[in-house]
Chain A
Amino acid sequence: MGLTGLFLISFLIVHVGVNACIFVNDGGETFNTAARFMSHNWILRIMEIGLFAGLILHIVQGFMLWKNNSSARPVDYNIKKANKNSKWYSRSMGLLGTLLLFFLIIHVSKFFVSTKIALYANGGINDASHNLYLEMKEEFQTWWVVLIYIAGVVSLFWHLLHGFQSAFQTLGINHKRYTPIIKAIGVGYTIIVCILFALMPISFYLGWIQ
């Protein structure tokens, strides 16, 4: 869980970085160049397979963890005051992860699949004219699409808030001096990544970027 989690965390940096190119507000020129590079460079193509493998592994691990743990307490308590001893989101990683999975299915079928179709269908005749930026802009004119994306980012926020520092603990890293730093970086990372992601559909919807 920890290793695959950190791997996905590192991917999100790249993802948010490339997407942030839309904020250049040049009609998508910078963004499309970056996106084109990401989808054409063959080293990145291979890494993409690794990314999906990591994601699937993370999901499978999470599912097995949930399954194992759900049999560890056959009779539950009648009264639980769990909020007195732990944070709700640390106890809800399975739920948050499932929400994220649903979001990812929608997300991938929206943008990833269209890129692949342009790239490969009919020998890639549509590749040159494929404009991912325009696609984003159009998608994010619908209010409920924007809402789904915001819900996805909110799930991601809580998932990361626990996941970032938790990954280090799992890997055996808990140090008097460094753990507070790791935790602070985790909080900073989570806030920055999530705000940037959330700003993308919002900015398109409100017309802040053209």
Chain B
Amino acid sequence: MEHYNMNLTLKVWKQKNSTAKGNFETYQVKDISSEMSFLEMFDVLNEQLITDGKDPIAFDHDCREGICGACSMYIDGRAHGPWSKNTTCQLHMRAFKDGDTIVVEPWRAAAFPVIKDLMVDRDAFDRIIQAGGYISVNTGNAVDANSLPIDKKDADTSFDAASCIGCGACVAACKNSSAMLFVSAKVSQLALLPQGEPEREARVLNMVAQMDKEGFGNCTNTYACEAECPKGISVTNIARMNREFLKAGLSTEQ
């Protein structure tokens, strides 16, 4: 594809801390290469801001290769921007044209409070994982990898669910700020494997309870999450979790 440079107007959410009232700031960036990533464009802008003695824009990032899920940005009304199955760090500037105005906001959810500017606190996800996203294993030598037979289909489905990177785009895109896609991916990944069997019922009950406690909304099956998920996590996981939840609720004595 043809390489080109562009000048852009950015409207970015600036917020001092979690209690401050934020507002949009407008910035101009020049000579942005179409081959830069969206985050590199922010690097250029921040460098300029620092040189000018201004406050740079705080944003989360880590791997910059689409696997850590840190780079949460709501770009022009879409989680992770206009491309589908994509993270912000993997969004390239060729998605935009010279002269465009781009609006960048943080994830919006009661359970994801803004820390500063575009950074949000996603500890709620960690606490949900802690509530049940684990398995019990014996210490000592690692068991032989093939000692437990697992159906190929189950292994594949579990692996698909495990590809969730915990980015929170599902929550950000959902009109209810529901975390069902994330939680269902984590529940499914273990429920499909024999290793996850001992905690199977307690896991789904505890993780769902934690999810509700964190203040995420309830799922109304709009499937916006699936459409915006960078890893293409399927809503069949949500149905599986509903199933697991009903079964566990009916059969446990807790």
Nearest Cβ on chain A to B240's Cβ, whole angstroms: 7
CB-based nearest A residue for B176: A69
Residues of B within 8 A of A177 (CB): none
CB-based nearest A residue for B238: A169
B217 touches A170 (CB 8 A): no
A72 touches B176 (CB 8 A): yes
A79 touches B76 (CB 8 A): yes
Nearest Cβ on chain A to B147's Cβ, whole angstroms: 30
Residues of A within 8 A of B24 (CB): 78
Interface centre among A76, A77, A162 (most CB of B within 10 A): A77
State how many residues of chain A have any CB contact under 8 Å with chain B: 31
Q: Which residues of A, 55-114, contact B by the 8 Å Cβ criterion?
A: 65, 68-69, 71-82, 84-87, 90-91, 93
The answer, yes or no, to whether A126 is at the interface (CB within 8 Å) is: no
B222 touches A91 (CB 8 A): yes
Checking B76, B218, B244, B246 against A81 with a beta-carbon cut-off of 8 angstroms, the contacting residue is B76
The answer, yes or no, to whether B50 is at the interface (CB within 8 Å) is: no
Residues of A within 8 A of B238 (CB): 169, 174
B217 touches A68 (CB 8 A): yes
**Once bound together, how far apart are the Cα atoms of A84 and B108, in whole Å?**
18
A86 touches B76 (CB 8 A): no
The answer, yes or no, to whether A173 is at the interface (CB within 8 Å) is: yes
The answer, yes or no, to whether A171 is at the interface (CB within 8 Å) is: yes
Which stretch of B134-142, B160-168, B223-231 is in the interface? B223-231
A72 touches B105 (CB 8 A): no
The answer, yes or no, to whether B243 is at the interface (CB within 8 Å) is: yes
Nearest Cβ on chain A to B65's Cβ, whole angstroms: 24
For the A-B complex, the count of residue pairs with Cβ-Cβ distances under 8 Å equals 102
Interface of A, secondary structure class, is: loop
State how many residues of chain B have any CB contact under 8 Å with chain A: 39
The answer, yes or no, to whether A172 is at the interface (CB within 8 Å) is: yes
Q: Which residues of B, 228-250, contact A by the 8 Å Cβ criterion?
A: 228, 235-236, 238-246
Q: A74-B110, A82-B175 are in contact. Are A172 and B239 (CB under 8 A)?
A: yes
The answer, yes or no, to whether B190 is at the interface (CB within 8 Å) is: no
Checking A68, A72, A76, A174 against B236 with a beta-carbon cut-off of 8 angstroms, the contacting residue is A174
CB-based nearest A residue for B172: A77
Checking B74, B218, B239 against A69 with a beta-carbon cut-off of 8 angstroms, the contacting residue is B218
Checking B74, B110, B173 against A71 with a beta-carbon cut-off of 8 angstroms, the contacting residue is B110
CB-based nearest A residue for B102: A79
A77 touches B74 (CB 8 A): yes
A73 touches B177 (CB 8 A): yes
| Sample (11) of A-B pairs whose CB atoms are under 8 Å apart | A72-B111, A76-B108, A77-B108, A78-B103, A79-B103, A84-B77, A86-B175, A91-B220, A172-B239, A172-B242, A174-B235
Q: Which residues of B contact A (CB under 8 A)?
A: 24, 74, 76-78, 103, 105, 108-111, 173, 175-178, 215-224, 227-228, 235-236, 238-246
Q: Which residues of A contact B (CB under 8 A)?
A: 65, 68-69, 71-82, 84-87, 90-91, 93, 162, 165-166, 169-174
Give 11 A-B pairs besides A65-B218, A72-B178, A174-B235 with Cβ atoms closer than 8 angstroms: A68-B218, A72-B110, A73-B108, A77-B77, A78-B105, A85-B227, A86-B222, A86-B223, A166-B220, A169-B235, A174-B236
* Top 8 closest pairs, chain A to chain B, by CB: A172-B243, A72-B217, A174-B239, A81-B77, A85-B227, A172-B242, A72-B177, A79-B77
